[in-house]
Chains A and B, each alone.
Chain A
């Protein structure tokens, strides 16, 4: 059986005054049904650009999907005519974002925004749509949903708004939920509630989740597979339990160490320097300027992704030398 989502050789470029920025370069991955796959990276890694391109949500003009295929259930989303793509968005694929205040319309009630999705994709209207909206809000644990449907986004807390977005995203029981930093703006106690809810709904609907995050601890507790991006490229991918305990790419290892304290609790292990500017990408491995293991060949040629163990790939010439 093929995977639910298959991304192959995706490249996304931005035309800027200072030249072409290769935000995502040659990215391939798959998401199986019922699985949570995390796409992790820091600012500028290309994780959100990649997620948005899957549904062609990036503004046309400045950005260009330069290459690649995105297959959902065998259909190539990048080749679909706009009308059919609209049927996929919201129906087969739901999406939630970091800032629900930006994604919700401030001048419409919560009920109306949920009903819009129900009308577009399921043809529900009037009392039927309202009843379904209330049911959805109850499912995402919004208290007093009968009253909430008459309220506006500004009447709700951040956690409640994120639940409303989930209600909209899940209205059509999508096969895939794309969650772009869904809990980054939330307090940790509310984050725990929202992550638990995503997990429950995933089990209940048999849904797959593509989780975009910068937080490796969230990955540990929610995902089965993880893809680490650096400067637009995949540098490592594998099962969460392995990647976060025995990473094989120096960047992944550095990220993990940067959040852990030395045995004496005195210092954090830094990754020196910063992510290279997209206008001045180094030749060879993009991580080489910050890497303690970098040698001449790393600065000359980009290391290819290699399979180290079944299901575990890393793009590093010296992957075998990285201490487990």
Chain B
């Protein structure tokens, strides 16, 4: 693995796999969901790595594995060079102080019966980071850092707007001074005008604290600007990974290309819908196949406009093509076509 590797990784996944047995159902015995398969990626101090993909690509399972909320079935996870599985077994609090998570829906991740002050204060209390007397003041500072006021300390989640709730979730994650925050679709549930506020806030925090983000999203247009590197996932595998600059210039994997082309954008030269625009790859047909029985060979071949016999027989490896890693037998050829 060369080229787009991170400088000094703070969090590094090597060949991570996660399989779930399928529960119940007639004839369902012995069947397995392959949620993650051979995922290797890393994030360096102070940088943002974005992971993009659609439903079922495994991005949320990846978030859960990286934050120790789920044990991977295979592969390893290193936190600042240390074996994370071991750390989670022996000193779980040490792991959790360094790796935090912000979820998509802050309403579901905040306790509705506790005040904002209590929720953020809990993080400090549990990790023994502030004496009881100092706690309220420290929580006040954290709220100020995420753009909330002193008056929010005694409010409950239902009294806040969606954007404010997400700020609380961010403050709670920051309370323990983590080195990595996994952001799992942190703005997807917010209105556009509020999304911008939260994205800018995450940026300011990163500048100030040097925290690394693993930013999970389905929105390619958004991550191209906030991430230094991007990993595109499909059906449990990384299909393309490289710098945002390289991928922004052009995508080489047919799925990355289709994903980007499918996203509507204001000001595309052709005012026509995607299927009438000759300069744009046609929309993909069909749905993402079931991860219970992923297709043999390349997992994307059932929907790929460039698929050939080799694709259904032989699984492509993630390999270096130009300035990024791509999982496609014919990446050079596709690149040649522009």
Contacts and interface: CB of A to CB of B under 8 A. Distances in A.
A241 interface: yes
B200 A43 contact: no
Among B200, B261, B268, B287, the most chain A Cβ lie within 10 Å of the Cβ of: B287
A220 B265 contact: yes
A187 B54 contact: yes
Given A43-B191, A270-B197, A274-B194, A221 B54 contact: no
A267 B263 contact: no
Contacts of A258: 192-193, 195-196
B278 to A, nearest CB: 14
A261 B192 contact: no
B266 A256 contact: yes
A221 B200 contact: no
B302 to A, nearest CB: 12
B109 interface: no
A187 B191 contact: no
A190 B287 contact: yes
Nearest to A268: B196
Contact of B273 (A160, A195, A270): A195
Interface stretch (A121-129, A211-219, A296-304): A211-219
B271 A220 contact: yes
Interface string B181-214: 0000000000111111101100100000000000
B249 to A, nearest CB: 14
Given A274-B161, A274-B163, A192 B274 contact: yes
B264 interface: yes
Contact of A188 (B161, B193, B194, B259): B259
Nearest to B54: A187
B193 A271 contact: yes
A220 B264 contact: yes
Interface in B270-329: 271-275, 283-288
Nearest to A159: B287
A55 to B, nearest CB: 26
Interface in A160-191: 160, 187-191
B191 A267 contact: no
Interface string B210-251: 000000001000000100000000000000000000000000
Given A193-B283, A261-B225, A214 B192 contact: yes
Contact of A157 (B164, B200, B287): B287
Nearest to A45: B191
Contacts of B203: 266-267
A130 interface: no
A269 B275 CA distance: 31
A275 B262 CA distance: 30
A196 interface: yes
Contacts of A218: 264
Interface string A248-263: 0000001110110100
B88 interface: no
B2 interface: no
A217 B219 CA distance: 12
> Which interface class (under 10, 10 to 19, 20 to 34, 35 or more) fits B?
35 or more
Contacts of B161: 274
Given A221-B274, A259-B192, A274-B161, A187 B55 contact: yes
Among B192, B194, B203, the most chain A Cβ lie within 10 Å of the Cβ of: B192
A222 interface: yes
B16 to A, nearest CB: 23
B258 interface: yes
A222 B283 contact: no
Contacts of A259: 192, 196, 266
B133 to A, nearest CB: 34
B267 interface: yes
Nearest to B274: A192
Interface in A226-279: 241, 244-245, 254-256, 258-259, 261, 265-272, 274-275
B105 to A, nearest CB: 14
Contacts of A214: 191-192
Interface string B122-165: 00000000000000000000000000000000000000011110
A245 B266 CA distance: 9
Nearest to B162: A43
A271 B197 CA distance: 8
A239 to B, nearest CB: 11
Contacts of B287: 157, 159-160, 190
A42 B225 CA distance: 23
A187 B196 CA distance: 21
A244 B197 contact: no
Contacts of A221: 264-265, 268, 271-274
Contacts of A245: 267
A13 to B, nearest CB: 23
B262 A269 contact: no
Given A221-B274, A267-B200, A270-B193, A196 B266 contact: no
11 contacts: A42-B193, A188-B259, A190-B287, A191-B264, A193-B285, A195-B264, A199-B275, A220-B268, A245-B267, A258-B193, A268-B195
> 4 tightest A-B contacts by CB?
A268-B196, A187-B54, A42-B191, A217-B264
Given A191-B262, A256-B266, A268-B199, 6 more contacts: A43-B162, A189-B258, A216-B192, A266-B203, A270-B200, A271-B197
